[in-house]
């Protein structure tokens, strides 16, 4: 963890090459409806996986070594909580009875210097993004359209960017992206394999944000992640 002011978190969403299967019991008509929903979900998930490979992969990704899942099999390494059986979403049953569990490592996974470097790069990206937002707002106020931000969305009629929310996308951070690709294969994918049973080689990052909680924040309201697996890394206490 870092001693940097404010609270910072690395939020990761992951996809798998093949969605785990889960048995369902339903009438014939309901089964057909469920089958159509599952087919659509598989299509969406396949796109998420492909997008993740583009954002966080590369020609040398397969050359990066995979860590050993066996390093994460000791239950004493984790503090375990449950959200309650049946409350973890439609994929819960696919994880061998562990889909409702939350695992928190008992000890830090990354060094303080690594966390500090990620925060510093994210701070700089957020500051640059906010400066660009202000310039675009000034241009709009002067009657120009202003440059479109591919990450912008509409919130109360005002453009909202990751920078405005105090977030930085790791896929746009050169150092952070390279670091995360390596550490995911070395530590995070094997950890998730050991806890949830999905082979590490079938996992990819789908999205990654470094989020700064500094003062009042509009970022990250209560929500349910769309990713197959979510992993949060506290970069500061």
Q: Which residues of the chain have pLDDT under 50?
A: 3, 148-157
CA distance 206 to 47: 10
pTM to 2 decimal places: 0.80
For the stretch 181-195, pLDDT in tens is 999 999 999 999 999
* Contact indicator for 203, 67 with CB cutoff of 8 Å: no
pLDDT for 58 equals: 54
Q: What is the DSSP code string of 33-88?
A: HHHHHHHHHHHHHHHHHHHHHHHH--TTGGGSPP--GGGG--GGGEEEEE--TT-S
pLDDT for 154 equals: 46
pLDDT for 82 equals: 95
Retrieve residue 229's tokens: 């697996």
pLDDT for 168 equals: 94
Angle between helices 174-183 and 28-56 (to 10 degrees): 120
pLDDT for 191 equals: 95
For the stretch 10-63, pLDDT in tens is 999 988 876 655 555 556 777 777 678 777 877 887 888 888 888 887 555 566
């Amino acid at each position: 963890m870092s001693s940097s002011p404010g609270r910072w978190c690395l939020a990761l969403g992951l996809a798998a090459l093949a969605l785990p299967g889960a048995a369902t019991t339903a009438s014939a008509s309901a089964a057909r409806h469920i089958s159509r929903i599952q087919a659509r979900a598989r299509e969406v998930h396949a796109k998420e996986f492909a997008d993740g490979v583009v954002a966080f992969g590369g020609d040398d990704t397969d050359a990066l070594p995979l860590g050993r899942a066996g390093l994460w099999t000791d239950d004493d390494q984790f503090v375990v909580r449950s959200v309650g059986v049946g409350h973890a979403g439609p994929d819960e049953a696919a994880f061998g009875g562990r889909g409702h569990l939350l695992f928190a490592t008992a000890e830090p996974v990354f060094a303080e210097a690594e966390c500090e470097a990620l925060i510093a790069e994210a701070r700089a990206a957020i500051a640059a993004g906010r400066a660009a937002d202000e310039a675009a707002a000034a241009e709009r106020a002067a009657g120009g359209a202003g440059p479109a931000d591919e990450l912008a969305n509409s919130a109360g009629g005002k453009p909202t960017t990751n920078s405005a929310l105090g977030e930085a996308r790791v896929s746009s951070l050169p150092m952070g992206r390279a670091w995360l690709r390596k550490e995911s294969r070395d530590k995070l994918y094997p950890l998730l394999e050991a806890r949830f049973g999905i082979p590490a080689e079938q996992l990819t990052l789908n999205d990654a944000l470094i989020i700064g909680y500094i003062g009042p924040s509009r970022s990250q309201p209560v929500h349910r992640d769309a990713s197959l697996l979510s992993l949060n890394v506290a970069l500061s206490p």
